[in-house]
């Protein structure tokens, strides 16, 4: 029987670097193989930002890997284990390495005025803004014009990303079992010329959101932590991706418990 291959992605903080040798030793002792090139399980050590980096590092193999997060600080949304639980994590992983839970991703399609198209996957969100000026864009849902937006920008998020920038922009928190994505406005301007719905919009799995842009303007598009400056954009299209992200479910905290712990805490 072949060994399960594990890749480790980590930050470079002192606390993280100190525990890496012990983590690798525990995994090898329990019969796993360390293989960062073609892993079946990717363990991240750091925080949610480290897991986002790992997600994009393995984006081309996203349906072939499962993620497991170890947090060296406070518990994050994508990290189920703490740095002092390495032995328990390794034992748990050995006993049940295959059970997983999957969540939807966002497909971000960028079209340029010359007809070129590029695609990205987002685990949390994508935003679009003008670097200096107010952004003006027409919003289309399923090829039907919906509204004209004028303001600082827009944030389009996955359910798991709905607790991040989307929440700060007034968006709703969506359970990740929903195959959907969400549009939230960032400081919209409403007057007699520009009038938007003014509330978050949740779009179902089969839906498609398209933003048509001014081709001679510069835009800043983000995909999770990736910052992409673009000129000569024609449109950006968002939809639920055909790919999904998979997490090892050996100890995966329920979503609403995670939300409560992050934002509310215990009842006084």
List pLDDT tens digits, range 197-238.
Answer: 999 999 999 999 999 998 778 899 999 998 887 778 899 999
Same domain, 9 and 54: yes
Same domain, 186 and 200: yes
Same domain, 139 and 172: yes
Q: Measured between alpha carbons, how far is 125 from 220 in angstroms, rounded to an integer?
A: 14
Burial string for 26-64 (b: 16+ CB within 10 Å, else e) reads bbeebebeeeeeebbbbbbbbbbebbbbbbbebbeebee
Tens of pLDDT, residue by residue over 156-171, are 999 999 999 999 999 9
pLDDT at 243 over 80: yes
User: Catalytic residue numbers?
Assistant: 48
Lowest mean pLDDT among 17-21, 33-37, 226-230: 226-230
Number of domain units in the chain: 2
Confirm whether 268 is domain-assigned. Answer: no
Question: Between residues 67 and 77, which one has the greater pLDDT?
Answer: 67
Mean pLDDT within 119-141: 94
Burial string for 4-17 (b: 16+ CB within 10 Å, else e) reads bbbbbbbeeeeebe
pLDDT band at 26 (very low <50, low <70, confident <90, very high): very high
Tens of pLDDT, residue by residue over 48-75, are 999 999 999 999 999 999 999 999 976 6
Confirm whether 193 is domain-assigned. Answer: yes
pLDDT band at 241 (very low <50, low <70, confident <90, very high): very high
Same domain, 84 and 120: no
pLDDT at 33 over 90: yes
Tens of pLDDT, residue by residue over 89-98, are 999 999 988 8
Domain of residue 80, residue span? 5-99+249-263
């Amino acid at each position: 029987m072949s060994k399960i291959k594990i890749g480790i992605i980590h930050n470079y903080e002192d606390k993280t670097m100190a525990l890496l040798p012990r983590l690798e030793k525990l995994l090898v002792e329990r019969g796993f193989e360390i293989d960062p090139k073609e892993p079946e399980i990717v363990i991240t050590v750091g925080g949610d930002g480290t897991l986002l980096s790992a997600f994009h590092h393995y984006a081309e193999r996203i349906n072939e890997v499962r993620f497991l997060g170890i947090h060296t600080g406070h518990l994050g949304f994508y990290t189920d284990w703490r740095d002092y639980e390495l032995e328990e994590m390794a034992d748990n992983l050995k006993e049940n390495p295959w059970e997983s839970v999957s969540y939807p991703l966002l497909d971000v399609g960028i079209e340029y005025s010359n007809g070129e198209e590029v695609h990205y996957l987002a685990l949390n969100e994508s935003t679009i803004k003008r670097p200096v000026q107010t952004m003006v864009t027409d919003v289309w849902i399923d090829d039907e014009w919906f509204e004209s937006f004028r303001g600082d920008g827009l944030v389009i998020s996955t359910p798991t990303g709905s607790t991040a920038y989307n929440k700060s922009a007034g968006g709703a928190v969506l359970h990740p079992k929903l195959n959907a994505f969400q549009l939230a406005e960032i400081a919209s301007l409403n007057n007699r010329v520009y009038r938007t719905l003014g509330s978050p919009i949740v779009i179902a799995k089969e839906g498609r959101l398209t933003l048509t842009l001014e081709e001679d303007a510069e835009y800043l598009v983000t995909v999770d932590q990736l910052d992409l400056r673009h000129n000569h954009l024609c449109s950006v299209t968002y939809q639920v991706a055909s790919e999904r992200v998979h997490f090892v479910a050996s100890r995966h905290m329920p979503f609403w418990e995670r939300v409560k712990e992050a934002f509310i805490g215990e009842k006084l």
